[in-house]
Amino acid sequence: MVRAIDWDSGAVVIIDQTLLPGRLSTVRLETVDELIGAIRRLAVRGAPALGAAGALGVALAAGRHGTETPEALATVRAEAGRLARARPTAVNLRHGVERALAVLEHGPEAVLADALAMLDTDERINRAASRHAADLLLGLCPGRRLRVLTHCNTGRLATVAWGTALGAIRHLHTEERLEVVLADETRPLLQGSRLTAWELADEGIPYRVLPDSAAASAMARGMVDCVVVGADRIAANGDTANKIGTYGLAVVAARHDLPFVVVATESTVDRSVPDGAGIVVEERDPEEITHFAGTRVAPEGAAVFNPAFDVTPVDLVTAVVTENGVLAEGRGQTA
């Protein structure tokens, strides 16, 4: 399995997710500026993958500028600061940068060694979190093969390997406890139809793609047993920031008494933020809304509201699950 992000001979190597599902291609990034560009255009994305990108980016800067003088250290820290700010909601990116900076004064080799250790532990951590989530879902929805609705992309493309919410789906499929995945297309950039569907098809996991606006109807028609999603930042109380549209799914899942489970790694938890009100939500380029495939689909001058994420209060969440088990519990459910 090709890693979504890796290191090779002095460069960060990523799967360019903007080219999927049409083409599976890797890109070498040899400077922090190139890495920041890739992060901002979503060529690399997903909370755990961005954590790895943060650490590897500091390794790039340390290798290029050195750490032998105060001036060199200041330059590396400045580049690290720019990197950490590339996606303000994604706390894993900042955590990866901070972890690498903690060993910066030990030299470039120490920074790189620590970053590579992050890569090597990612699959283990994701497998543990998704195992807990799969077991929880089986307990919440006993007696049948599950019909699982998911949003955005939380698989191996969003991590170094395996995945979080989609990792739980992999466990269910392997154990023949999965009937079908309903994958929201995830507007406006279609991470569900482009990336999640690509991963599911690649592994022979049964799925259907649906418009985001059809998810409520699917729940009302009894087509969904549970909803499982990832997270980009989790506040101390369990409020969760995830791809825009997640909050609406949680509201509808609560209306239909369906389990709504968030799967993430502990590195996604930001205990410095007491609740969701303190989570900064990134707003993205208006052209993601006003244009489609380069063609304008809204009137010239149309005003745009394009948040990348929304915040789901913990009282709408059945459970937040990490590699250490259930981190937070919100509403009860009757499924």
Are the C-beta atoms of residues 252 and 219 closer than 8 Å to each other? yes
Cis before 21 (ω within 30): yes
Q: Is 275 a catalytic residue?
A: no
Distance separating alpha carbons of residues 112 and 199, to the nearest angstrom: 29
Distance separating alpha carbons of residues 269 and 77, to the nearest angstrom: 24
Q: Which two tokens stand for residue 279?
A: 């989570």
Q: Which of 6, 184, 225, 232 is catalytic?
A: 232
Are the C-beta atoms of residues 286 and 94 closer than 8 Å to each other? no
Cross-sheet strand order for the sheet of 26-29 = 5-8, 11-15, 26-29
Ordered DSSP codes for 28-51:
EE-SHHHHHHHHHTTSS-SHHHHH
Q: Which two tokens stand for residue 88?
A: 């303000």
How many residues make up the chain in this entry?
335
Are the C-beta atoms of residues 15 and 2 closer than 8 Å to each other? yes
Q: By 3-state DSSP, what share of the chain in percent is helix, strand and coil, each rounded to 5? A: 45, 20, 35
* Alpha-carbon Rg for the chain in angstroms: 20
Nearest Cα neighbor of 84 from 58, 111, 119, 110 is 58
SS3 of 67, please? coil
Distance separating alpha carbons of residues 210 and 197, to the nearest angstrom: 11
Q: Which two tokens stand for residue 93?
A: 């990116």
Q: Which residues are catalytic?
A: 232
